[in-house]
Amino acid sequence: MPKRSWIIAAAMLGAAVLYRNRASLEQVRANVRAFDMPTAGTYDALVASLLGGLYERVADEVAEAYPTGTILEVGSGPGRLAVRLAQTASNREITGVDISSAMVERANWLAVGTGLGERVRFEVGDVGALPFPEGSFHGVVSTLSLHHWPDPARGLAEIHRVLRPGGEVWIYDLAHWLWRPTHGESRISRLAAASPFGDREVEVFRWPGSVPAFVLLRLRRAREDEP
């Protein structure tokens, strides 16, 4: 594993341990798995700031697929990925939705502070009941959010609803070998197969460096002229 990869992994684990230094080992493990932080600012400083390389890679992949149009980010957190997506193209509009009002407030502050407030906006919402009309977005992206959804099947159905025909959702989540007790690659595959989406693809996403730490789930809403 490259030296930088070890540094990132160790920093994330160390931050979580310091944050819960009086908790039991099992509670520490649960906090790391859930990225549980006391405030949006703490999360941004200790976790989101360490994921800059991941956001850059995800932004490049999504930007290549959707050089223009409207993109929805589910579980947008403090807004770092959405802002990066907007920075890669001047004619792309990004909407972020997060269940935490504190995260949404911080994300909107970031968008305004980077001069992108007209093209990037965030609002409070639940993936199980997205506050958007059918067919609102050309594409959807989500990072490290799926394992938080209380009803993943409903979430995928809602994403399918707000996607335009032919649109794709790119969902990046923790690889099954990291947190097998909470979810697994086979479970993700089953969720995808049971969703309203037709085409589906599950692949190992290697980051940081060559570490197979994430799973990328790509789903596409069929066009109206497709069977």
Residues of the chain with pLDDT under 50: 1-37, 179-184
Integer Cα distance of 144 and 179 in angstroms? 12
Q: What is the pLDDT of residue 184?
A: 46
Question: Cβ neighbours of residue 206 under 8 Å, at least 6 residues apart?
Answer: 212, 213, 214
The reply to whether 118 falls in a domain is: yes
The pTM of this model reads 0.78
Structural domain includes residue 37: no
- Expressed as residue numbers, the domain containing 84 is 51-220
**Domain contains 45:** no
- What integer pLDDT is reported at residue 54 of this predicted model? 86
Is residue 64 included in any domain, yes or no? yes
Asked whether residue 7 is assigned to any structural domain, the reply reads no
CATH code of 128's domain = 3.40.50.150
Q: Is residue 194 part of a domain?
A: yes
Predicted local confidence at residue 51, as pLDDT: 79
Position 184 in a domain:
yes
Give CA separation, 173 vs 73, 110, 188, 193, in Å: 14, 24, 10, 17
The total of structural domains in the chain comes to: 1
Distance CA 137, CA 158 (A): 12
